[in-house]
Structure 1
């Protein structure tokens, strides 16, 4: 006969595994939604840039895009990463960078 304590441990393990599975499914659904090819119209709505601006970025190879049979395609995940690359540092981040730079410089001078 299985002990009551062992049954409780087994149920807790199953619950933990179920939570992990749910998290993996949600992550997979999110990735599949962001990794479907998007048209330029979809990216206009998503990013807020105008069509001419996006075409200009594509011409200059500034924005990640794919071209197949003369049509442009984008992947949301790539656009999100591209947008994140343009992050501007806030004042506290800049001050921290300056402090680090100055402290490293003082160490080298010694």
Structure 2
């Protein structure tokens, strides 16, 4: 590496800044979690994930109650879809139901005209 002269200092600083910004971009890209590819799983994998039996899962598939893909005679499932499907069955807590009822009643009262 040759010695820097005062006249070349602005170019050297600009080159260092460019290299630093490229390194920063690469580090940020590496730091961001890469989306995991959602590999298909078999019905046995879904059974292990959900705790449901294979015949029960076949029944859900027959009634189109569970998300699945079919290729030929094989059923495939995606873990993210199964987890989303499980989350849709969440029941509201008593506190959530009470808040919903209060919000509904307050909106209902605003729309009514009371005559005296």
Structure 1 unaligned runs (5+)?
Answer: none
> Which structure is larger by alpha-carbon Rg, 1 or 2?
2
How far does residue 17 in structure 1 lie from its aligned partner after superposition? Answer: 6.8
Structure 1 segments, 4+ long, off by >6 Å, are: none
SS in 2 for 1:61: coil
Deviations 1:42-84 (A, max 9, x none): 1111111100100100111110111111111101111111111
- Equivalent of 1:79 in 82, 100, 104: 82
RCO comparison, higher one (Cα < 8 Å, 6+): 1
**TM-score (norm. length: structure 2):** 0.72
Call closer, same or farther: CA 1:20–1:98 in 2, change over 3 Å: farther
Query: Structure 2 matches for 1:29-108, cutoff 5 A?
Result: 29=36, 32=37, 35-108=38-111
Number of equivalent positions: 98
CA RMSD of aligned residues (A): 2.4
The structure where helix makes up a greater share of residues is 1
